[in-house]
Amino acid sequence: MDRYTVISADCHAGADLLDYKPYLEKKYHDDFDTWAAGYVNPYEDLLADTADRNWNSGRRLAELAADGIVAEVVFPNTIPPFFPSASLMAPVPSPVEYDQRWAGLRAHNRWLADFCADAPGRRAGVAQILLGDPAEAVREVRRTKEAGLTGGILLPGTPPGCGIPELYSQVYDPLWAVCEELDVPVNHHGGSASPPLGDEPAARAVFMVETTWFSHRALWHLIFGGAFRRHPGLKLVLTEQGSGWIPGVVEMLDYYHGRLVAAAGRAATAESKFGAGLAASMGASPGEVWRDNCFVGASFMRPHEVPLRDRIGLDKIMWGSDYPHDEGTAPYSREGLRIAYAGLPPDEIAAMVGGNAARVYGFDLAALDRIAATVGPTVEEMAEPLTEVPADATSPAFAPGGSVRVW
């Protein structure tokens, strides 16, 4: 092995706004024209001259290859039709608007299937769904799997007050069942579960502090809800939420699980009521569920998280560049990899930068190895510690200091 095969487990893409129209059912075309004519994009990066990195396939392949990356898991980025923003949890005040937004997500998924087909074997597209109608979500999972999207689904969050059942509810069992049946990973991306906080300076700061915690909630909701007992083949991927929090949180979940299960067998107490039926409904402990069913899209993994890799699970960690976001490592992904992984055994690096993602998302690693043979970071290069951070690097991967997050 002279070079590493790097698969970014966290990249983002989407169509330019008007380019979604051909992917909408025709009955929505007039509504789309009206909506698009008055729409004001709220995101500066989607108005800049670099916005086409989201949809320009040739530019994207070239920039990723120059960055040492041969394949990518593709999460959404641009605005789907009929949405006020990229958030899947925007309020839905009427059945008509809800129907339109489903149409918008289906249009994105169709576009994404074509975008992935433009680079065979190098893109695993993540399909979008809504949770308000689990039967419709199941139909879209089947359709997108058949259309060739191999990145699984993007699981929306259920923030407090959003009006739909929490993720621990068994109302979602048909969704977990079809994902298990078709081997479709369930991805939960950071930032997709926070409640609206407003736009004051304090609100923005609070969002930064809390957003990963709200995303982490999917882990304990699905565990305590028994989703993995009823669907033991289900795969959950937590992406761009950091990774240093995982050992402590899994240990905490194990503690509460053991405490409540033990209390349930005692005389009537407050805790015995909280723990009643938990062992039977959950099955395995949280630690066992993490070991058997869960993975982390450890975007631009930072140096302070790397010593925890054995406790997280070396077979769980999937590095990501977050291209094309400015908090991502591009165009300094080689340096981002070095600052995190220099000095580690090559087999461990190979697993975290590509091997694990190939296994979870079904990439043909042998085929990608042939591409990496000319563009991948060399083993010699990766062994050299990074001594100087690029002056114009904007990723938190290069931030000085850092400690394990309590979340």
What's the average model confidence in pLDDT over 350-377? Answer: 98
- Cβ-based neighbours of 304, under 8 Å, separated by 6 or more: 244, 402, 403, 404
Neighbour-count burial for 211-236, b at 16+ CB within 10 Å, e otherwise: bbbbbbbbbbbbbbbbbbeebeebbb
- pLDDT tens by residue, 201-254: 999 999 989 999 999 999 999 999 999 999 999 999 999 999 999 999 999 999
Bridge partners (DSSP) listed for residue 139: none
CATH topology of domain 6-398: TIM Barrel (3.20.20)
pLDDT classification of 41: cutoffs 50, 70, 90: confident
Exposure of 320 in the CB half-sphere (CA atoms within 13 A): 31
Q: What is the percent of the chain with per-residue pLDDT over 90, rounded to a whole number? A: 81
Cα–Cα distance for residue pair 198/165, rounded to 1 Å: 23
Cα–Cα distance for residue pair 346/326, rounded to 1 Å: 28
Structural domain boundaries of the chain?
6-398
Q: What is the pLDDT of residue 35?
A: 95
What's the average model confidence in pLDDT over 60-76? Answer: 98
Beta strands in 80-209 (DSSP E): 123-125, 127-128, 153-154, 186-189
What's the average model confidence in pLDDT over 35-52? Answer: 89
- What is the reported pTM? 0.95
What's the average model confidence in pLDDT over 30-46? Answer: 91
Cα–Cα distance for residue pair 299/296, rounded to 1 Å: 9
Cβ burial, residue 278 (10 Å; 0-12/13-18/19+): middle
Q: What is the pLDDT of residue 404?
A: 38
Checking if the pLDDT of 17 tops 50, the result is yes
pLDDT classification of 403: cutoffs 50, 70, 90: very low
